[in-house]
Amino acid sequence: MLVGHIQEITRHPVKSFTGEQVQKTKVMDYGLYGDRSHAFKGKNGKFLTITQVPEMVRYQAAFSGEEALDQYPEIQVKTPSGNVLTWGEGAFQEEMERLLKQEAEPVVYHPAHIPLGAIEEENILLVSDASIGELTKLWGKELDGRRFRQNLIISLVNKTPFLEEQWFGKRILIGNEVELEIKRHCERCMIITVDPSDSHRDPSLLKTVFKERGNHFGVYASVMQTGEIRVGDQVFLKD
């Protein structure tokens, strides 16, 4: 059954940096190509994220070349001041020292395999356009969808908010190749309170999600069949 089409595809080459919207990408067995492939760990061995350093969200990371399975294209990082730096170069390392304000170990996973720990929950996070629209109404403020750090936005045929939550345990087919199994709710945390444009926090959004949605927004999916997806691909719910 046709349930919608892919409206947006977003991957995050650097964990907790703002990601990049792409027109097409490979779906690997771990999720979107290169998603959360680069990260930083603190002294305790845990990932450094927006939770500890909200200003991380003001840095935007993007791959600067074609996807390859032997090595990643260069990652270009746009800083809040508008400078564009390259991951791993001296100027980038100096910028990260100023940003993170602690000893941090850069971590890079191979394009063929990113462990679940980098993504922390599941392979892919998706939401629907109807759900974003309804939460905007519930919150009563303009909503920047980047707060939710989803991989896919599905534009639904049936504009029922939170319809995707009825798909738990079922599979969706995207285009002609990719198959995902919808697993469970995404339980939200303080990260959604951080405005991607200026890193200012507004706790009222998390309070709204907690009150109106039981702290759930978006759904997690596991990759069952790899392949390539594009913006505009049709999404089918399998029987």
Is residue 32 a contact partner of residue 9, using CB atoms and an 8 Å limit?
A: yes
**Which tens digits make up the pLDDT trace of 8-64?**
999 999 999 999 999 999 999 999 999 999 999 998 999 999 999 999 999 999 999
pLDDT at 117 (0 to 100)? 73
Please give the pLDDT value at position 221.
97
pLDDT per position as a tens digit, 139-188 = 999 999 999 999 999 999 999 999 999 999 999 999 999 999 999 999 99
Environment class of residue 201 by beta-carbon count within 10 Å: exposed (0-12), middle (13-18) or buried (19+)?
middle
pLDDT the model gives residue 137: 97
- Asked which of 58-72, 73-87, 111-125, 213-227 is least confident by mean pLDDT, the reply is 111-125
Question: Are the CB atoms for 103 and 43 separated by under 8 Å?
Answer: yes
pLDDT of residue 79: 97
**pLDDT beyond 80 at 118:** no
Label residue 103 by pLDDT band (50, 70, 90).
Answer: confident
Extended strands (E) in the chain: 2-11, 20-21, 24-28, 31-32, 38-41, 60-63, 75-78, 84-86, 105-108, 124-128, 152-156, 171-174, 178-187, 216-225, 227-230, 234-237
